[in-house]
Amino acid sequence: MDTAKIIAATKMILEAIGEDAEREGLKKTPERVARFWEQATAGYGGNAQDFSTVFDGEQYDEMILCRDIEFHSLCEHHLLPIVGVAHVAYIPNKKILGLSKIPRIVDMFAARLQNQERLTSQIAAMIDELLDTKGVGVIISAKHLCMSARGVKKQNAVMETSALRGRFRNDARTRAEFLQMIKG
């Protein structure tokens, strides 16, 4: 990340809207914004090797669900926040993933400029790639600031997306069990 460019660009934006980038309340804003961008886009550095806590030889063959995984992302179209929850389930095929790895996968893909559809698919694809599962299900519910703070200004609109693979797509009973489980 080019921190100097982000700092310079932030100063330019402040000046472009008529602010004094050197006034007391704004002096350190460009550096804070640069730190924000570093954190908000940290997911570009992640890959499958970062999630190597895979346990082989497991005989568990029922659904594993991690639900209500809170995340923040940034809309690639407006650079505004997306705030939501992900529900991620899979049916193992002799391998299980360390439980903390599921939220870490969500966070890695969320810490990129995103659209919700791609985020949902990326999470499902990585879990399937890591574990060669019998099926993966991902459902994301999120609010988009680009929809509530600008444009149509719909404060309570929630976008829901799903990525269903294997038994979650092909077996109505598995899909129904997943949907029931995420209700809590």
Residue 52 has pLDDT above 80, yes or no: no
Average confidence (pLDDT) over 35-56: 86
Count how many residues are written for the chain. 184
Between the alpha carbon of residue 40 and those of residues 3, 74, 90, 125, the distances in Å are 13, 8, 27, 22
Six-digit token string for 114:
């995103």
Global pTM reads 0.93
Which class does domain 53-183 fall in? alpha beta
Catalytic site positions:
75-78, 116, 144, 146
- Of 65, 100, 112, nearest to 86 (Cα)? 65
pLDDT digits 0-9 by tens, 89-148: 999 999 999 989 999 999 999 999 999 999 999 999 999 999 999 999 999 999 999 999
pLDDT of residue 56: 84
Residue ranges per domain, the chain?
Answer: 3-40, 53-183
